[in-house]
Structure 1
Amino acid sequence: MQVFKFGGASVKDAAGVRNIVTVLQETGTTHKLVVISAMGKTTNAMEAIIDAYFNDKSTIPDQLKKTVDYHTEIAQDLFTTGHPIFKAIKTLFDELKGFLEWNKSPKYDFVYDQIVCYGELLSTTIVSAYLSEQGITNTWLDARAIIKTDDSYRDARVDWDTTQTAIKASIDPKALSITQGFIASDSNNFTTTLGREGSDYTGGIFAYCLNAQNLTIWKDVPGVLNGDPRVFNNTELLHQIPYEEAIELAFYGASVIHPKTLQPLQRKEIPLYVKSFLNPKDSGTKVSAVASLVPEVPCYIVKKNQVLISLSSLDFSFMVEDNIAEVFQLLSQFKLKVDLIQNSAISFSVCVDNKFNGLEKLVNQLKGKFKVQVNPDVDLYTIRHFNQKALDKFQEDKKILLKQVAQNTVQLVTQN
């Protein structure tokens, strides 16, 4: 059995949905589970609805209309008038509107997960119906019924035992199943999500629980490149990547592979392929238990819109273990993800991701004990397998706030 994952870019329009049919016809329409993300920028659109819900409810109808129109237009391009898909789309949006009306919870993360999931429910409903229309038998599955997690909304942790039991009981490995990435549910059957870009992780979960032959992530790039071509020039395709190297790249922020995706795959040595949905016959990139990177070239990663926080003690005393432990406790409390750490005798710096908007509360707490300097909107660059020539050229036009060099990795925090 194989697990395929198609991201939002691959289903952003009717042509993308048709292309899924092409890929399946070329690779086989049985013995597969297909994981699909929300269409195009739908997750962003759902986040706009959430923002309106908390800040200006009068704008909700306009935000909803944009999302309804987007999915309806795609469906109109794929189906004839009167097809049952239009009723199915309406039913899902009616459910969403119902939640917006009856919900009483003031908790942002909970509300976020109950709303944002409709992007994946809509995309998979449309794709499953279109496959059936093209004569490809498939079963639509609600991932929330089979991937079970704790109640850490927006970043839920998988209950592996319950999930594996549910997956094995629900999926026919000889057939074709269509399901959602990113979403799951807790023990009370409330929707949870696995973190932004968590659809790749969903693919890894299913591959692990089904003992799949492989997992293929279909992208709008030829495979894993040694840098994001939208940011870096003259990028090269990486043909083979060891699991350990791929996990390092993902940890540092390589956007092609979600950081959590590789861990379940490595445990069972299930290969991961990253391929182009535009050229499905091309070999792409294979991540497996190989010895080294092929080709062995510098790999460039950037994380935009980070925050550099620099601390020093108010009385110039040493930054010792107790101080640092307290800082990390606060970082965890306010959900700031740490991407880089550097410390000296009297200072301590961290580069963090403020995706949960806990920065202001954190800084207020830190100011009681430390001198705090905050540099917002910085970029964190990581170069794996760097050489001096590549590093010198890279640094030419950048204002560097912090630099950290390890054996084969250099990280630089730069000011925009």
Structure 2
Amino acid sequence: KTTTLGREGSDYSAAIIAYCIDAKEITIFKDVSGVLSADPREFENTVLLHQISYKEAVELAFFGASVIHPKTLQPLQNKKIPLRVKSFVNPLEKGTLVANGVDIEPKIPCFILKKDQILISISDKDFHFIMEDDISEIFDYLHQYSLKVNLIQNSAISFTVCVEDNFNNFGDLVQDLNARYKVLYNKNLTLYTIRHFTDETIKKIEKGKKVFIKQLSRETVQIVVQN
């Protein structure tokens, strides 16, 4: 049966072959010099990351960095096969090494931007708590209408998600949710994700913007804003 491998299929094919033949290393050529600290089309003064771990590469890809797809990394990580990302424009440059157990170098903030985001806040019409059953039902609707969830926040009486509506199903989603819940939303927002953030980088992103949500963990901050 013939099938297609989807987005980044050529990279994935190379990773599978490398896995099968126990390759010592795999090199993938892109139109950039390697894995950068941000998309040069959206940010100035981007920096080449000389090396990152598989885990860091997956984290960056999960939040929206597009150089390496997570499915390409899985077979390589399983056999600890190093991956080098290089530029086909300047193939003699070293590019970025992705390998097991290496630290990110240089360790600097990495920025990921997603436009056209929708922030949805959902609460019970009868002022009841939002419980696990409610959250499960909401996710069923999100899956049914193929909305990609990029951020989640919940409180006692509300559940908030930042989503992408890639298939123009948002109106149908709201119609179904309104049957039981009170739904508020804001469209045309931007989601910034910063890995290895500093206070200075957060202030830089927030400057001159209306902030709707900011979530911080040990290594990552996500900020939903309106420019």
**C-alpha distance in 1 between matches for 2:10 and 2:160:** 32
Q: Structure 2 counterpart of 1:259, which letter?
A: P
Distance 1:202 1:363 in 2: 39
CA distance in 2 between counterparts of 1:414 and 1:346 reads: 23
For residues 307-354 of structure 1, the C-alpha deviation after alignment (integer angstroms, 9 at most, x for no partner) is 222111111111111110111111122222211111111111111222
| Amino acid aligned to 1:336 | L
Tell me which of 168, 183, 201 is aligned to 1:372: 183
Match of 1:390 in 2: 201
**Structure (1 or 2) with the greater strand fraction:** 2
Aligned twin of 1:222? 33
Q: Which of residues 391, 399, 402 in structure 1 aligns to 2:213?
A: 402
Task: Tell me the residue number matched to 2:11.
Answer: 200
- Could you tell me how far 1:409 is from its partner in structure 2? 0.6
Distance 1:364 1:200 in 2: 40
Question: Where do 1:295-334 residues align within 5 Å?
Answer: 295-334=106-145
Q: Does structure 1 residue 277 correspond to structure 2 residue 114?
A: no
The verdict on how the C-alpha distance between 1:410 and 1:311 changes in structure 2, with shifts beyond 3 A counting, is: same
Cα distance in 2, alignment partners of residues 375 and 278 from structure 1: 41
Offset at 1:300?
A: 0.5
RMSD between aligned residues: 1.7
Distance in 1 of aligned mates of 2:4 and 2:41: 31
Matched AA of 2:173: L
> Structure 1 residue 259: deviation in Å?
2.7
* Structure 1 pair 363–199 and aligned structure 2 pair: CA distance change class (3 A): farther
Partner of residue 258, structure 1: 69
Aligned to 1:174: none
1:340-351 alignment, distance < 5 Å: 340-351=151-162
Residue 193 of structure 1 deviates from its aligned partner by 4.8
- Change in Cα spacing, 1:225 to 1:199, as seen in structure 2 (3 Å) is same
Spell out, residue by residue over 1:101-144, the C-alpha distance to the aligned partner (whole angstroms, 9 max, x if none): xxxxxxxxxxxxxxxxxxxxxxxxxxxxxxxxxxxxxxxxxxxx
Residues 22-171 of structure 1 mapped to structure 2, 5 A cutoff: none
Worse-matched range after superposition: 392-401 or 311-320 = 392-401
Q: Does the 8 A contact of 1:247 with 1:262 survive in 2?
A: yes
Q: Distance in 2 between matches of 1:198 and 1:356?
A: 22
Q: Could you tell me how far apart the structure 1 residues matched to 2:16 and 2:162 are? A: 30
SS at match of 1:311: strand
Counterparts of 2:220 and 2:38, CA distance in 1: 14
- TM-score scaled by length of structure 1: 0.52
Is contact 2:206-2:225 (8 Å) kept? no
- 1:217 CA drift (Å): 2.1
Q: 1:126 maps to what in 2? A: none
Write the distance in 2 (CA, Å) between the matches of 1:285 and 1:363: 43
> Moved runs in structure 1, 4+ residues, more than 6 A?
none
Pair 1:213 & 2:24 matched: yes
Q: 1:289 aligns with which of 100, 108, 118?
A: 100
Cα distance per residue 1:156-209 (max 9 Å; x no partner): xxxxxxxxxxxxxxxxxxxxxxxxxxxxxxx4x4x4452x44543343333333
Establish whether residue 338 from structure 1 lines up as the match of residue 154 from structure 2.
no
Give the letter for the 1:221 counterpart.
V
- AA paired with 1:351? C
Change (3 A) 1:204 1:354: farther
Q: Does 1:232 align with 2:37?
A: no
Cα distance, 1:353–1:260 mapped onto 2, change above 3 Å? farther
Question: How far off is 1:397 after superposition?
Answer: 2.4
Q: Which has the higher helix share?
A: 1
Corresponding position of 1:80 = none
In 2: Cα distance, 1:199 partner to 1:395 partner = 38
Question: Alpha carbons of 1:363 and 1:197: their partners in 2 closer, same or farther (altered >3 Å)?
Answer: farther
Relative to structure 1, is the Cα distance of residues 377 and 205 closer, same or farther in structure 2, using a 3 angstrom cutoff?
farther
SS at match of 1:261: helix
Which amino acid in structure 2 is aligned with residue 378 of structure 1?
Answer: L
Secondary structure in structure 1 of the residue aligned to 2:76: helix
Percent of counterpart pairs with the same letter? 56
The alignment covers a number of residue pairs equal to 227
**Structure with more contact order per residue of length (Cα contacts < 8 Å, sep ≥ 6):** 2
Q: Is the 8 A contact 2:51 2:102 kept in 1?
A: no
How much does 1:291 deviate? Answer: 3.1
AA aligned opposite 1:389: E
Q: Does 1:248 align with 2:59?
A: yes
Q: Which digits, 9 at most, give the CA deviation of each residue in 1:196-240, with x for residues without a partner?
A: 445433433333334333332211211111111111111111001
Measure, in 1, the Cα distance between the counterparts of 2:4 and 2:125.
42
Partner of 1:55: none
